[in-house]
Structure 1
Amino acid sequence: MLASICRRRRLATPLRQILAGGGAAATNPVRSIPESVLLSHGDYSTAVAAASADPEPCPATVSYLLSCGLSAAAAAVAARNFRIRDTDRANAVQALLREYGFSEAEVARTLRHESVLLILDPDRIIRPKLDFFFSLGFEPRLFAAEPHILSRSLDNHIVPCIEYLRGILGSDDNVRTAACRVPRALLADPDKVMRPAVEAFRRNGLSKESITKLLLIHLGLLMVPLDRIDEAFDDMKELGLRVTDTGFLYGFRVICGLKRETWRRKVALYQSFGVCEGDVLRAFKTQPTILLASDETINKRIRFYLDVLKLEMGHVMAHPMSLSLSLEKNIKPKCAVLSVLMREGKIEKKLNLLASLQCNSKVFTERFVQRYAKDVPDVVKAFEGQIKFQGFGDREFELLSHRMTEAKKL
């Protein structure tokens, strides 16, 4: 079924796009932003046009940009698009960012990715935007992550954008949460991009509450092309997922974010470990993010469970969340804790290992770290990564299957 969806999606690509070397298979719809989104209604295009690009970069501009942390290549490219004629103004821009709480690293990152800010009037153009965003509770890290926002027009883009999102998401807190997760979504035009996307969600059966939740999950879905949105709904229907199902929104976010070749390749990767297509589908329905990790990451996670923990692939696929958790930051520290506790005889071998590993950090900490911290101080060191996991050795767990565990609960 998964393969048939991929084939159907490929055939759905217009022939003229394929011949042009493009099409939906060539880009990630969630990440791609139309050029018009970036250049319309903003101070960026006005400032650059006023500066008039020079065929050769201005040495003084290059030198200043180098002092801001740009690489030589990036400084040369930027200096062809504009010229810093007033270093006092450029210095004032940097001082303004620091005044609003930008760290030196955030100032450098902001100017490295949007160096044209250095030629904008700091008090007339940049300060009002910072005042507006900070009044809503935004922090400097938003602009360090997506500094192009500060080049957009406050009246023509930023305010209408926030007002539209407030109407959809319901509160300033939700707007801030969603935007901080995907800052580049604030570059989208509210009338030409956001509104049509929301209408497409409604047309395909999502309720107002579901749209709010979907955009809190990933605000970048507002920038997905309309035909791709319709196609993703068809894909979800073919997978047997209805808009009212619990996992629909998370699955929809993943479907929209994957290239077609990437989808096929990841399914094939799981199948290379002896997993049938049906098992991949069931795991996807439970934990859609199993298809978001890179091929290398998926391979490393599976090899760890099979080779180090000595688990069977069936056990792993029955706990798909374990395939979405970081080995280094999550799984291995937890394994280190369990290894210490097993060595000290504090836990029995009868333990559903994967269920324990995939529980959230708060629950795991209460159950295995805080509970034993006084008697076994090493559990704290293990959880913090100071004691590395070296395997369970001959002290293997007597694994309980997922079904056995559920039966015991009943």
Structure 2
Amino acid sequence: MFSSLRKTLLRRPPFLLTTLRSISTTTATATSNRPSFAASYLVNSCGLSPESALVVANRVAFETSARPDAVIKAFKSHGFSQSQISAIIGKGPQLLLASPEKTLLPKLDYLRSVGFSGSDLAKLIASSPYLLTRSLEKHLIPNFCRLRDFLRSDKNAVAAIRRSPRILQKGFEATVDPFVKVLRDHGVRESSIMWLVKCHSRTMINWYDRLEEIVEKTKGMGFDDPSAAKFPVAMLAVMAMSEWKWERKFDAYSRWGWSRDDAMSAFVKCPRCMTMSEEKIMAVMGFFVNEMGFESSFLLQHPRLISLSLEKRIRPRCLVFKHLSSHGLMKTKIGLTTLLTISDEDFLVKFVTPHIREAPYLLDIYREKKHMGTGTLLP
């Protein structure tokens, strides 16, 4: 019987073979076009776009929502928004299958315990979800402690990681140690190195391969003492600006009568004056020359003033200064540079509070202009 059936099947007409192949192809196509459970979940529960969901679904597969639901709940319990969770899953889809109790929550709790607030923690993980795949005991804790010991406080370590998560992701020895060694070898003071680690690690890590070259170039621009406090600021300026940007700054200063040598002289006195935008340079120079009546050479002698905020500091304080001078209320001789560079508290004590009786509106003038500069309303 089986032999007869086999012969019958072998003798089936060509159209039947074609029909069977067509049915098979149609079924396979329908199956491949039908969204998988994982892709549907990624769209509906994680907020991914259909296109992104299909890509992610090819990297992580699951047929029930139990584990992914628990993972999302863990993130939400630490204040993560839906958009942040979407970013995390998009970059690190394997985390959807991680154990919240064993893998995720201990790490999130540790990071929160050392000083990452809810918003900071969410931003950190959203930008670097790979952190949650590193061992807590063997990687995260030792590397955070190493950074904390170097910067001498949890707060400083958190600030450094917030700016450059790569430190914690790849480890202190792989990111910070190499450029610190170069800087120490060249005589950069320890306090400056700590400042660079805390505030500019991302730049230093990115430029490590050319750091020796940058140090030598900075020395050649007039900063021959790497132990000086302004040396790292000058070094960052050299890193940040291309030849084209330098020319733009030279051009901005030349409009106020400065030569290239003048601009470089100012740069050596105060490196920040060459890191300001052309718009900022023009605005500050214009204020001192056109509104305060100074020669542009005044700022050449005091280039630090160019780096101060025009709206938050320079303009409010100069208005007070002009008012006191015009009304004969300036009792003591003091340079404008001192008036502009002292702390807010000292400024109020020395130049506003003593004159409240003669000029009760002086405080209102100062506070109004200062708050206009910060874009906030008066309390």
Same-fold status (TM-score > 0.5): yes
Aligned partner of 1:82 among 53, 56, 62? 56
Aligned partner of 1:297 among 264, 269, 280? 280
Per the TM alignment, residue 229 of structure 1 is displaced from its structure 2 partner at its CA by: 0.7
Aligned partner of 1:158 among 121, 129, 140? 140
Aligned partner of 1:366 among 342, 349, 358? 349
Q: What amino acid does structure 1 have at the position aligned with 2:78? A: L
Matched, 1:133 2:111: yes
Structure 2 CA distance for partners of 1:78 and 1:277, relative to 1, 3 Å:
farther
More divergent stretch after superposition (216-225 vs 281-290)? 216-225
Aligned partner of 1:278 among 225, 242, 261? 261
Other-structure match for 2:22: none
Matched, 1:204 2:186: yes
Per the TM alignment, residue 190 of structure 1 is displaced from its structure 2 partner at its CA by: 3.0
Query: Are the counterparts in 1 of residues 111 and 121 from structure 2 also a CA contact under 8 Å?
Result: no
**Rounded Cα–Cα distance in structure 1 between residues aligned with 2:50 and 2:192:** 46
Structure 2 CA distance for partners of 1:218 and 1:367, relative to 1, 3 Å:
farther
Unaligned runs of 5+ in 2: 1-34, 373-379
Per the TM alignment, residue 197 of structure 1 is displaced from its structure 2 partner at its CA by: 1.9
- What percentage of residue pairs aligned between the two structures are identical? 24
**Rounded Cα–Cα distance in structure 1 between residues aligned with 2:363 and 2:89:** 45
Matched, 1:96 2:74: no
Query: Are the counterparts in 1 of residues 312 and 371 from structure 2 also a CA contact under 8 Å?
Result: no
Query: Are the counterparts in 2 of residues 129 and 154 from structure 1 also a CA contact under 8 Å?
Result: no
Larger radius of gyration: 2
**Rounded Cα–Cα distance in structure 2 between residues aligned with 1:269 and 1:254:** 17
The aligned runs of 1:253-268 (5 Å cut-off) are: 253-268=236-251
Q: What amino acid does structure 1 have at the position aligned with 2:304? A: M
Aligned partner of 1:330 among 306, 313, 333? 313
Per the TM alignment, residue 344 of structure 1 is displaced from its structure 2 partner at its CA by: 5.4
Secondary structure in 2 matching 1:311: coil
Matched, 1:310 2:293: yes
Query: Are the counterparts in 1 of residues 70 and 100 from structure 2 also a CA contact under 8 Å?
Result: yes
Q: What amino acid does structure 2 have at the position aligned with 1:138? A: F
Other-structure match for 2:205: 223
**Rounded Cα–Cα distance in structure 2 between residues aligned with 1:302 and 1:246:** 26
TM-score for the superposition, normalised by structure 1: 0.64
Per the TM alignment, residue 128 of structure 1 is displaced from its structure 2 partner at its CA by: 1.9
Matched, 1:175 2:157: yes
Structure 2 CA distance for partners of 1:378 and 1:129, relative to 1, 3 Å:
farther
More divergent stretch after superposition (82-91 vs 187-196)? 82-91
Deviations 1:170-217 (A, max 9, x none): 443442344455556544543433322222223333355553343245
Secondary structure in 2 matching 1:125: helix
TM-score for the superposition, normalised by structure 2: 0.69
Query: Are the counterparts in 2 of residues 214 and 249 from structure 1 also a CA contact under 8 Å?
Result: yes
Of structures 1 and 2, the one scoring higher in RCO (CA 8 A, sep 6+) is: 1
Structure 2 CA distance for partners of 1:108 and 1:384, relative to 1, 3 Å:
farther
**Rounded Cα–Cα distance in structure 1 between residues aligned with 2:365 and 2:49:** 45
**Rounded Cα–Cα distance in structure 1 between residues aligned with 2:120 and 2:370:** 35
Unaligned runs of 5+ in 1: 1-53, 67-73, 390-410
Aligned partner of 1:382 among 355, 358, 365? 365
Q: What amino acid does structure 1 have at the position aligned with 2:349? A: E
Paired positions, count: 321
Structure 2 CA distance for partners of 1:158 and 1:280, relative to 1, 3 Å:
farther
Q: What amino acid does structure 1 have at the position aligned with 2:236? A: R
Per the TM alignment, residue 233 of structure 1 is displaced from its structure 2 partner at its CA by: 0.6
Structure 2 CA distance for partners of 1:94 and 1:114, relative to 1, 3 Å:
same
Query: Are the counterparts in 1 of residues 315 and 369 from structure 2 also a CA contact under 8 Å?
Result: no
**Rounded Cα–Cα distance in structure 1 between residues aligned with 2:293 and 2:50:** 53
Other-structure match for 1:238: 220
Query: Are the counterparts in 1 of residues 150 and 194 from structure 2 also a CA contact under 8 Å?
Result: yes
**Rounded Cα–Cα distance in structure 1 between residues aligned with 2:110 and 2:370:** 47
**Rounded Cα–Cα distance in structure 1 between residues aligned with 2:332 and 2:191:** 45
Per the TM alignment, residue 239 of structure 1 is displaced from its structure 2 partner at its CA by: 1.7
**Rounded Cα–Cα distance in structure 2 between residues aligned with 1:77 and 1:311:** 61
Q: What amino acid does structure 2 have at the position aligned with 1:97? A: H
Other-structure match for 1:22: none
**Rounded Cα–Cα distance in structure 1 between residues aligned with 2:285 and 2:51:** 43
**Rounded Cα–Cα distance in structure 2 between residues aligned with 1:79 and 1:233:** 47
Query: Are the counterparts in 1 of residues 112 and 121 from structure 2 also a CA contact under 8 Å?
Result: no
Deviations 1:23-67 (A, max 9, x none): xxxxxxxxxxxxxxxxxxxxxxxxxxxxxxx99x9576456566x
Task: Report which of the two has the higher share of helix.
Answer: 2
Per the TM alignment, residue 162 of structure 1 is displaced from its structure 2 partner at its CA by: 1.6
Q: What amino acid does structure 1 have at the position aligned with 2:276? A: A
Q: What amino acid does structure 2 have at the position aligned with 1:127? A: L
Structure 2 CA distance for partners of 1:293 and 1:387, relative to 1, 3 Å:
closer
Query: Are the counterparts in 1 of residues 164 and 201 from structure 2 also a CA contact under 8 Å?
Result: yes
Query: Are the counterparts in 2 of residues 142 and 183 from structure 1 also a CA contact under 8 Å?
Result: no
Structure 2 CA distance for partners of 1:388 and 1:162, relative to 1, 3 Å:
closer
Per the TM alignment, residue 221 of structure 1 is displaced from its structure 2 partner at its CA by: 4.1
Deviations 1:131-185 (A, max 9, x none): 2223223323433554424541342653343233235334434423444555565
Secondary structure in 1 matching 2:273: helix
Query: Are the counterparts in 1 of residues 312 and 370 from structure 2 also a CA contact under 8 Å?
Result: no
